[in-house]
Structure 1
Amino acid sequence: MAWHCNGVTNQEMVAKLKSAGIIGSDKAEDAMLAIDRGKYCHESDPYLDKPRKIGYNVTISAPHMHAYALTMMTEQLSRKGAHALDVGSGSGYLTACMAHMVGSGGLVVGLEHIPELVEDSRKNVELDRPDLVQDGRIKFVVGDGRLGHEADGPYDAIHVGAAADSLPETLVSQLAPGGRLLCPVVAIQGFQRYQDFVQVDKNPNGSITTKKLMQVMYVPLTDAKAQLANLN
Structure 2
Amino acid sequence: MNLDNLLVSDLDGIRTVTLNRPGSLNAITYDVLEELEEVIRDCKYNEKVRVIVLKGAGKAFCAGDDLKGMGTAKTPLPEGLPLKRAEIGYSRFILTLRQLDKPVLAQVHGFALGAGCDLAFSCDMIFAAKETKFGLVFAKRGALGGTAVLPKIIGYQKACELLFSGDMFTAEEAHQMGIVNYVASQEEIDELVNKWAHRFAKAPTGQIGMMKKAINQSIGESLERSVDYQRYIQALMYNTHDSNEGVSAFLEKREPHFIGK
Query: Same fold, TM exceeding 0.5?
Result: no
Could you tell me the TM-score, scaled by structure 1's length? 0.30
Could you tell me the TM-score, scaled by structure 2's length? 0.28
- Report 1 or 2 for greater relative contact order, CA contacts < 8 Å, sequence distance ≥ 6: 2
Higher-helix-fraction structure: 2
Higher-strand-fraction structure: 1
